[in-house]
Each structure stands twice: as structure tokens, then as C-alpha cells.
Amino acid sequence: MQHYLVELYTPNAAWQRLPIAQRRQFLGAIQDAMVGLSGMGVEMLALAATQAGIAQASAHQFLGIWRFGDTQARDALLAGIQASGWYGYFDHVNAASDAGGLAAHMAALAEFTQPG
């Protein structure tokens, strides 16, 4: 079964205060760490700026979309993001899911009740 992760993030004040040279150094380390991800079953589908001109657009400036062969690969990526210090520089939210289809999703929505 495939698993997915969507990240939405915006540079925060700590990132804005960081000199450009330090930003490049930080991002270079992130890029170097990403080299081996495909061997772990991590597939990057998109890393890009978000588009503001759509209905119900997110206020976040950037997104990442990932696909994984298993939850261990997803959790390894999330652990790496955490360990890198990324969350200290970006206002960030994650959404994860398994693969799904229209019929199962519509049934889940129809039967949804607020937990608790």
C-alpha cells in the first residue's frame, strides 16, 4: 500500500533573520541529506511554491508532496526533518494518509462523526 505526506510551510521570523549565507548552508545540508531517500522508498512528488490564486488557497507559501512504500520510510523522513532543525525556521503543518479511492473516501465522509 502506498502512503502519502503533504507538507505546507512558510518561512518564519527566525528564517528571515538568518543571513543568506547561513540559509544556503542550512539548505545545502538538507539537500545533501536527501540524496539517499529514494533508496529508502521515499519518492518526492513535488516541492514548490504554492499558488495563491485558487479557491480556498492555503496561506502557506510552499508545499511538499511525498509518496512512500511504507510508514517506516515516511517516519524516517519526518524524523530527519525534525532532526535538521527545519521546524525552527518554518511555520509547518503535515498531513499524512494511506492510498485511497473515491468510493471508500465518500463512504468515510458519509459516516464521519467527530471523535470524543
Per-residue pLDDT of the chain (116 residues; tens, 9 = 90+): 899 999 999 999 999 999 999 999 999 999 998 888 878 889 999 999 999 999 999 999 999 999 999 999 999 999 999 999 999 999 999 999 999 899 999 999 999 998 87
C-alpha cell of residue 49: 511554491
Q: Please report, in angstroms and rounded to a whole number, the separation of the first and last CA atoms in the chain.
A: 29
* Architecture field, domain 3-111: 2-Layer Sandwich (3.30)
> 65: which strand partners?
6, 46
In contact, 58 and 93? CB cutoff 8 Å: no
Cα dihedral sign, 14-18-20-26: negative
In contact, 29 and 116? CB cutoff 8 Å: no
Report the Cα 32 to chain-centroid distance in Å.
Answer: 18
pTM listed for this prediction: 0.89
